[in-house]
Amino acid sequence: ANMPSLLYKKYKFSLFVACPSLRKVPHVLVVHGESGATEDHLKKVKPANWVLHKPPLPIAYGTHHSKFMLLVYHSGVRVVVHTANLIYVDWNNKTQGLWMQDFPWKDNNSCKDSFFENDLVDYLKMLKLPEFTAKLPAVGNVSINASFFRKFDYSSAMVRLIASVPGYHTGANLNKWGHMKLRSVLGNCIFDKEFCKSPLIYQFSSLGSLDEKWLSELTVSMSSGVSSDKSPLGIGKPHIIWPTVEDVRCSIEGYAAGNAIPSPQKNVEKDFLKKYWTKWKANHVGRCRAMPHIKTYTRYNGQNLAWFLLTSANLSKAAWGALQKNNSQLMIRSYELGVLFLPAYVKDLGSWFSCAGNDGTEQIAHENSSSSSKPWSLATLCLNDDASEVIQLPVPYQLPPQPYTSEDVPWSWDRRYTKKDVYGQVWPRHVQLYAKQDT
């Protein structure tokens, strides 16, 4: 494809093996979270046309955890938000999620912006990206910075961005990031009455050090929204989907899969969490043995979804933020990025724009065939309904989830497991992350 510029995060140079065409991209900006000897090594071995940038982390224990790509083509930009690190095992051996959409350049006379545009540019500004000049066939020499991405028309965006950035957020910024951003967006949405007090799913791959007070705080945000009569939906009961020790042992990677589910006993084995544990079951998509690195949050009733969030954010205060100072301040440690699917953003579904067809040229797909005036709704793939107004999302786990039995033990990566896995191995063991074969 004709990609003059590429911005993405979490790479390893084995990428050239997986994607040789990367060598042909004239400008590549890599936003990373490496430090020390690893960062020094990357600076030494990077190609000359690659720019490395480590965003500021002003609060201790924070990370740049977002996983995203911005691919600039001659005809527009492709925005990709995903959950996999750019390493072999993440893309080949695990359950992950990815969303993408293409957007055209704005017309010369266009000055319109959108929620998506503002959220994206605000997030990129917080990364403090280094500015560089690129020659783009469509527009000539341009400065690549956060504001450059205002040159594209995001009015057709099918999702809302939900991001986290480190800092102590107050005033107008209180509702701009983290779980307060989600609370704000959901609070402005009207949902079907079937979702009143309906349950919530928290599904992720790393569990922070939590307490009941903070989990309740997060649940208030996840439960935000009103029904058609303007009454609040009410607090939903959370269910935490988390692999058991047996799930990991019998997975396609064996115990090695547990290396990417990095939560210690002290976080996992808290008494108050026991009532929330539910099983990772994915028979309907054949992914029971592909351990989840995907992170999702949703509110559901049966197979119907009020909303669905695909994100890099695990269940932690560092990722989502914690309210302080009588709820007037939100403290976030890490960078995160996710996309929120809402029925309201599907109602205006029209033409699909593509940056690159098979011949590398701009493509406009056919108009959506549905002429119904009914509102759109979201559902899982298991919903037996062929109505054209239903968007079925590939939710990779069973709903409703099954609670743990008395024999189920939640996975924690710092315990010793002597029962051999499918490869005859015990835990702990050495895990090779970056090679094609785990040796």
Please tell me the predicted confidence (pLDDT) of residue 368: 46
Length of the chain: 439
- Annotated binding residues for substrate: 67, 295
Q: Is residue 86 domain-shared with residue 148, that is, in the same domain?
A: yes
What DSSP string describes 118-164? HHHHHHHHHTTPPPEEEEETTTEEEEESGGGGGGB--TT--EEEEEE
- Determine, yes or no, domain membership for 406: no
Whether 297 and 401 have beta carbons less than 8 Å apart is answered as no
Q: Are residues 177 and 304 in the same domain?
A: yes
Annotated binding site: 67, 295
Considering the domain boundaries, does residue 362 fall inside one?
A: no
Assess whether 293 carries a catalytic annotation.
yes
Residue 20: count of CB within 10 angstroms of its CB:
9
Four-residue CA torsion sign, 88, 91, 96, 100: positive
> Tell me, what CATH number does 22's domain have?
3.30.870.10
Distance separating alpha carbons of residues 396 and 314, to the nearest angstrom? 17
pLDDT digit of tens for each residue in the chain (439 aa)?
445 566 554 445 468 888 888 888 999 999 998 889 989 988 998 889 999 999 999 999 999 999 999 999 999 999 999 999 988 899 999 999 999 999 999 987 777 889 999 999 999 999 999 999 998 887 889 999 999 999 999 999 999 999 999 999 999 999 999 999 999 999 999 999 999 999 999 999 999 999 999 999 999 999 999 999 999 999 999 999 999 999 999 999 999 999 999 999 999 999 999 999 999 999 999 999 999 999 999 999 999 999 999 999 999 999 999 999 999 999 999 999 999 999 998 855 556 899 986 444 455 544 444 445 678 999 999 998 777 789 999 999 999 999 999 999 999 999 999 999 999 999 998 876 655 544 3
Distances (CA, A) of 345 to 228, 252, 316, 375: 17, 37, 28, 11
Cβ(332)–Cβ(321) below 8 Å: yes
**Does residue 416 belong to any structural domain of this protein?**
no
Q: How far apart are CA 309 and CA 297, in angstroms?
A: 5
d(CA 279, CA 397): 9
Catalytic residue among 27, 64, 82, 293: 293
Q: Six-digit token pair at 124? A: 């990129």
Ramachandran quadrant class, 225 (left: phi over 0; alpha: psi -120 to 50; beta: rest): left
- Output the six-digit token pair for 164: 């986290």
| Domain encompassing residue 207 | 160-349+372-393
Counting residues of the chain whose pLDDT is more than 70, the rounded percentage is 90
Cα-based angle 382, 384, 387 (whole degrees, multiple of 5) = 120
Phi first, then psi: give them for residue 433, nearest 5 degrees: -90, -30
For tokens 């993405």, name the residue: 8
Classify each residue of 344-367 as buried b or exposed e, where b means 16 or more C-beta atoms within 10 Å of its C-beta: ebbeeeeeebbbbeeeeebeeeee
317 contacts 43 by C-beta, under 8 angstroms: no
Same domain, 204 and 77: no
Question: pLDDT per residue over 173-186, tens digit each?
Answer: 999 999 999 999 99
State whether 150 and 178 are in the same domain: no
Asked which of 96, 129, 159 is the last residue of a domain, the reply is: 159
**Residue 308 domain-assigned (yes or no):** yes
Note the pLDDT of residue 432. Answer: 66
Domain-located, residue 423: no
Among residues 64, 65, 169, 239, the one annotated as catalytic is 65
394 bridge partner residues: none
Question: Is the distance from CB of 242 to CB of 208 less than 8 angstroms?
Answer: no
Q: What is the pLDDT of residue 138?
A: 72
Element containing residue 245 per DSSP (H, E):
helix 245-249
Q: What pLDDT, on a 0 to 100 scale, did the predictor assign at position 315?
A: 99
Q: Say what the pLDDT of residue 345 is.
A: 87
pLDDT digits (tens, 9 = 90+) for 21-56: 888 899 999 999 888 998 998 899 888 999 999 999
User: Given this model, what pLDDT does residue 9 score?
Assistant: 47
Q: Is residue 436 part of a domain?
A: no
According to DSSP, the β-strands at 377-380 and 390-393 are parallel
Assess whether 215 and 122 both reside in one domain: no
Q: What is the pTM of this model?
A: 0.93
CB atoms closer than 10 angstroms to residue 215: 17
Pair (168, 92) in one structural domain:
no
